[in-house]
Structure 1
Amino acid sequence: MNILILSNRDLASNFALNLLIPKLIGAHKVHLWLSGKVGKKRVLPEQLSRLKFFEQDLFNQLLSPLFSGKKIDKLKGFESFQPYLASELLEVNDINTPKTISRIKDLAPDLIVSIRYGGILKEDCINIPIKGVLNLHSGILPQYRGVMATFWALLNGDEKIGTTLHTIDDGSIDTGKIIKISTLDVQSNKSYLWHVLELYKQGVVDVFDTITSIAQDKKVLKLAQPKDNAYFTFPTNEELTVFEQQGLKLVDEQELLCFIRKNYL
């Protein structure tokens, strides 16, 4: 199949793409477009600014360039994906503009796969691929629609977090038909970012298995969601304070260093 992957320039996206793209090469033509951010530009609370530094700024500006040309058994920075792609790796933040829609039509993807992409796809984009659009959401649907679903699950004291692979059928957010939910036991001594990274190990397997089924014209079971659940947005200062008061952390530098050493260096 001809597949367009939409993702984001952050650590978790890079980790997920490293797990997915090598599995697709050979059997599929793969294109990769990245957003530079999630949502609109805004002033972030101090805690979220710190999280952004570790998962975006530090990774993109310092670490990702260092990972180019590393050993084959280590993970790659974004630019190192280029030799495996069927077209130029692009940063695309205006996914719904006429110019971008025309570019997608020129690519003629059979399938679009979204993993942490920063924009909301609208109908003109969604209607292009003949085999539809898939999204891997880092939360359990329909309970946790919206952004930072893992944060809200941890804040609520859930014993399990999860990913949901679902279709994108219209311009609404996280409301498509559910294909697969995979869960992970919460480890209260681990950070929010650690949990997010761990989720993608199984989440990417779910994406790959579904792509394989679609390519083989096998039936993919899809279950419609109820439409009455809340939508979560970025936490406020007060909610971030409660998170910390519960002994939870957004990011732990030592955890992150261990993750980088194990997977990239």
Structure 2
Amino acid sequence: MKIAVFARPGASTAVLLNWLIREGYTDLYVILETAPRRLKQIRQRVRRLGFRRALGQAMFMAVLMPILRWESATRRSELRTHYGLDETMPRLPRVLHIDTINDAVVVDKLRSTAVDVILVNGTSIIRAPVLATTKAPIINTHVGITPDYRGVHGGYWAMWNNEPEKFGTTLHLVDEGIDTGNILAQVTARPDRHDNIASYPLLQQAKALELLKGFLDKIARGEKLSVSSETSGKGTQWFHPTLLQYACARLRGVR
């Protein structure tokens, strides 16, 4: 079975690729999208969220996240060992590096390369010209329960809202929205007291891979995927917390 992976470089992409190889899915075609420059991201957030909130988010990412990664290092190591996850980027023969996943070259590659499924991990929004190029299912692993927790840090915001039952991951088909595609399956998890916002995504991804295996096996057998829930695109899109938001929530035990 030929699998295309649309992703950005990073630990979660390495985890996905190594897991696919370990499970025997070695016929991979990987397209890696360059992450936007930090300054460009900040400008986009200022336009969308306002200067004060964008500044608070930037301070959280620059000041607190390195500390939180250090704080959760042991826990993340435990998760990698327990679930057999590898964050080292594997060497693959077919990797295409591009500036945007919506580049015309992606359309050309999809037309010339018959793939059975496309897995998405952390790219920008995939636009209609790319989506319309293939009949293969396009599956995103979203670390949040949709539609309530679209966007980023879905697990953290579920805990922030005192909804631990919605700490989980969604496998969904991709449309032009942000985590709005029809849902294939969802799985919940229970973080422990050593987890924090820096380790939540690894736990959520580990749980999602257990689900993904079943869907890939179905595709390999030529079976059609069925959705468990059709979404309306409603719900809430979440962003990075600000430094003040995180600090205040930490005082009430939300890590």
TM more than 0.5? yes
C-alpha RMSD of matched pairs (Å): 2.7
- Displacement of 1:233 in angstroms is 2.2
2:103 aligned with 1:91, yes or no? Answer: no
Distance 1:4 1:119 in 2: 16
Deviations 1:44-85 (A, max 9, x none): 5232125665899xxxxxxxxxxxxxxxx883621x331xx5
Which sections of structure 1, spanning at least 5 residues, go unmatched? 57-72, 250-265
* Equivalent position of 2:136 in the other structure: 131
Distance 1:198 1:158 in 2: 17
- Displacement of 1:144 in angstroms is 0.5
Q: Which amino acid aligns with 1:20?
A: L
Distance 2:19 2:201 in 1: 14
Alpha-carbon distance change, 76 to 11 in structure 1, aligned in 2, over 3 angstroms: closer
Alpha-carbon distance change, 35 to 90 in structure 1, aligned in 2, over 3 angstroms: same
Q: 1:93·1:119 contact (CA, 8 Å) conserved in 2? A: no
Q: Which amino acid aligns with 2:86?
A: L
Distance 2:67 2:97 in 1: 20
Q: Which amino acid aligns with 1:46?
A: M
Distance 2:119 2:164 in 1: 29
Trace 1:226-237 onto structure 2 (pairs within 5 A). 226-237=232-243
Q: What SS does the corresponding residue of 1:166 show, helix, strand or coil?
A: strand
**Scaled by the length of structure 1, what TM-score is found?**
0.74
Distance 1:54 1:90 in 2: 33
- Displacement of 1:25 in angstroms is 2.9
Q: 1:38·1:119 contact (CA, 8 Å) conserved in 2? A: no
Alpha-carbon distance change, 97 to 15 in structure 1, aligned in 2, over 3 angstroms: closer
Q: 1:111·1:129 contact (CA, 8 Å) conserved in 2? A: no
Q: Which amino acid aligns with 2:246?
A: L
**Scaled by the length of structure 2, what TM-score is found?**
0.76
* Equivalent position of 1:146 in the other structure: 151
* Equivalent position of 1:102 in the other structure: 108
Q: What SS does the corresponding residue of 1:45 show, helix, strand or coil?
A: helix
Deviations 1:70-113 (A, max 9, x none): xxx883621x331xx5x2x2333311122332233333323211
* Equivalent position of 1:68 in the other structure: none
Query: Segments of 4+ in structure 1 off by > 4 A?
Result: 50-56
Q: Which amino acid aligns with 2:12?
A: A
Q: Equivalent of 1:81, from 87, 91, 94?
A: 91
Deviations 1:115-150 (A, max 9, x none): 2x2311011111223222111110011111112212
Q: Which amino acid aligns with 1:75?
A: D
Distance 2:32 2:157 in 1: 25
Distance 1:74 1:231 in 2: 28
* Equivalent position of 1:66 in the other structure: none
Question: Alignment length, in residue pairs?
Answer: 224
Which sections of structure 2, spanning at least 5 residues, go unmatched? 43-54, 70-83
Q: Which amino acid aligns with 1:45?
A: A
Distance 1:74 1:175 in 2: 28
